[in-house]
Amino acid sequence: MSTLCSPSASLLRRLDRLGRLMRPTPLVELTFPGVRVFSKLEYLNPVGSVKDRTAYWILRRAVERGEVDERTTIVESSSGNFATALAAYAQLLGLRFIPVIDPNILPANEAFLRRACATVVKVDEPDESGGYLKTRLREVQALCARTDHAYWTNQYANIDGMDAHYRLTAAEVCADMPRLDYAFIGVSSAGTLAGMSRRLKEAFPGVRIIAVDAAGSAIFGCTPRRRHIPGLGAGIVPPLLEHARIDDVVIVPERETARACRELLWEHGLFAGGSSGTSYAAIQQHAPAMRETPGATALFLCNDRGTAYLDTVFDDEWVTRLE
Ligand SMILES: Cc1ncc(COP(=O)(O)O)c(C=O)c1O
């Protein structure tokens, strides 16, 4: 980790320019019986997902504190949207980024990372649980130990990752929505859930926060098992979860996610990825209870685009192979 020094003025200027690219994302209303359902289109962030906010804010705060400067190499264990956002923003800031990935990475994400980063470390040894998370984290520690001025963004425990959604994503919702009764928020690192739930509860004291997770994830105490749709879920309980303010939890099977993704596309015209479908499926499950409140208003995020999921969630044969 870099020693603390005064912030780099040139990195701050670049961050200001980057920040101006991050326009508020639109909020759209779906046609839905008996409940006003709104989706915030996070896939319209510059690099394509809700994790743009996390990457931008974590880098910004680290530069402001003088923990990241021109000499820094960013290191992170991620195969998904966080890695692609970090890769793009590190490149735009002129910083090196080494992503640590594993064989489950989507080919499109690996291609992106290999184009954006001079070094990509791909682990291939499964850990004791049969997954790769612990192997990847061990590799991150080893890389940080042997790299001068390494900075591990540590998305599962970084408070700035939560703050990103408190200050950016949720602040936009508060500015756009006069009323909110339910927010359905998917969980992996729990940064989005923790940050949004805290801000939304301040602005809408009666709002119910529904955490949405994938079946097979360990976050809410279930036995972890193999999951096939990236985005939501984790094999650990993320430290950021303790900061979240949760009223209810919905666990969605992967088949349901696939069904809901298709419904979002073919009935609502939203071409969104797995976690968006998972949250929409949770809304459908909660709809009878929500209809008891006149004018009930609900929100979910379309976290990323459907393109990376064409060979999985949107492929009939792939879906029939799901449990
Ligand atoms: C598509 C998608 N949806 C939802 C999430 C969950 O966000 P968080 O890590 O803030 O819990 C992620 C995290 O990577 C994601 O990639």
What CATH number does residue 114 fall under? 3.40.50.1100
Asked if pLDDT for residue 3 goes beyond 60, the answer is no
**Poorest-pLDDT segment among 16-30, 116-130, 149-163, 197-211:** 116-130
Name the closest-CA residue to atom 15, ligand 1: 231
Residue 157 lies in a domain: no
Element (H, E) at 221: none
Report the separation in Å between the CA atom of 186 and the middle of ligand 1, taken as the mean of its atom positions.
Answer: 7
Q: What is the dihedral of CA 169, 172, 177, 180, to 10 degrees?
A: 30
Asked if pLDDT for residue 323 goes beyond 90, the answer is no
Q: Are residues 304 and 186 in the same domain?
A: yes
Q: What is the pLDDT of residue 228?
A: 85
227 falls in which pLDDT band (50, 70, 90)? confident
Q: What percent of the chain is predicted at pLDDT more than 90?
A: 85
Q: Are residues 62 and 121 in the same domain?
A: yes
Q: What is the pLDDT of residue 44?
A: 98
Does ligand 1 have an atom closer than 6 angstroms to the CB of 187? yes
Query: What is the tens place of the pLDDT at every residue in 75-125?
Result: 999 888 999 999 999 999 999 999 999 988 888 899 999 999 999 999 999
Query: Pocket of ligand 1, candidates 40, 44, 51: which has the most ligand atoms within 8 Å of its Cβ, to mutate?
Result: 51
Query: What is the tens place of the pLDDT at every residue in 201-224?
Result: 999 999 999 999 999 999 999 888
Q: What is the pLDDT of residue 236?
A: 87
Does ligand 1 have an atom closer than 6 angstroms to the CB of 191? yes
Domain range enclosing 119: 53-152
CB 25 within 8 A of CB 42: yes
Does ligand 1 have an atom closer than 6 angstroms to the CB of 85? no
Q: Are residues 176 and 299 in the same domain?
A: yes
Q: Which of the 8 DSSP states describes residue 94?
A: T
Task: Choose one of 152, 186, 205: the last residue of a domain.
Answer: 152
Does ligand 1 have an atom closer than 6 angstroms to the CB of 302? no
Angle at 241 between CA 257 and CA 107, to 5 degrees: 45
126 falls in which pLDDT band (50, 70, 90)? confident
Name the closest-CA residue to atom 2, ligand 1: 231
Q: Are residues 176 and 304 in the same domain?
A: yes
Query: Pocket of ligand 1, candidates 243, 303, 307, 313: which has the most ligand atoms within 8 Å of its Cβ, to mutate?
Result: 303
Alpha-carbon gap, residue 170 to 57, rounded angstroms: 14
Q: Are residues 106 and 34 in the same domain?
A: no
Report the separation in Å between the CA atom of 303 and the middle of ligand 1, taken as the mean of its atom positions.
Answer: 7
Does ligand 1 have an atom closer than 6 angstroms to the CB of 188? yes
Ligand 1 atom closest to the CA of 187, numbered from 1: 11
Q: What is the pLDDT of residue 277?
A: 98
Does ligand 1 have an atom closer than 6 angstroms to the CB of 273? yes
Query: What is the tens place of the pLDDT at every residue in 254-266?
Result: 999 999 999 999 9
Q: Are residues 87 and 176 in the same domain?
A: no
Ligand 1 atom closest to the CA of 276, numbered from 1: 3
Task: Choose one of 119, 152, 185: the last residue of a domain.
Answer: 152
Q: Are residues 273 and 296 in the same domain?
A: yes
Q: Are residues 180 and 131 in the same domain?
A: no
Asked if pLDDT for residue 19 goes beyond 80, the answer is yes
Q: What is the pLDDT of residue 230?
A: 86
Alpha-carbon gap, residue 45 to 39, rounded angstroms: 14
Mean pLDDT of the chain: 94
Mean pLDDT within 118-143: 89
Does ligand 1 have an atom closer than 6 angstroms to the CB of 303? yes
Does ligand 1 have an atom closer than 6 angstroms to the CB of 275? yes
Alpha-carbon gap, residue 103 to 27, rounded angstroms: 35
Residue 3 lies in a domain: no
Does ligand 1 have an atom closer than 6 angstroms to the CB of 190? yes
3-state SS, one letter per residue, for 142-181: HHHHHCCCEEECCCCCCHHHHHHHHHHHHHHHHHHCCCCC
Asked if pLDDT for residue 226 goes beyond 90, the answer is no
Ligand 1 atom closest to the CA of 155, numbered from 1: 9
Alpha-carbon gap, residue 84 to 94, rounded angstroms: 15
Query: What is the tens place of the pLDDT at every residue in 22-66?
Result: 999 999 999 999 999 999 999 999 999 999 999 999 999 999 999
Q: Are residues 130 and 190 in the same domain?
A: no
Task: Choose one of 125, 152, 179: the last residue of a domain.
Answer: 152
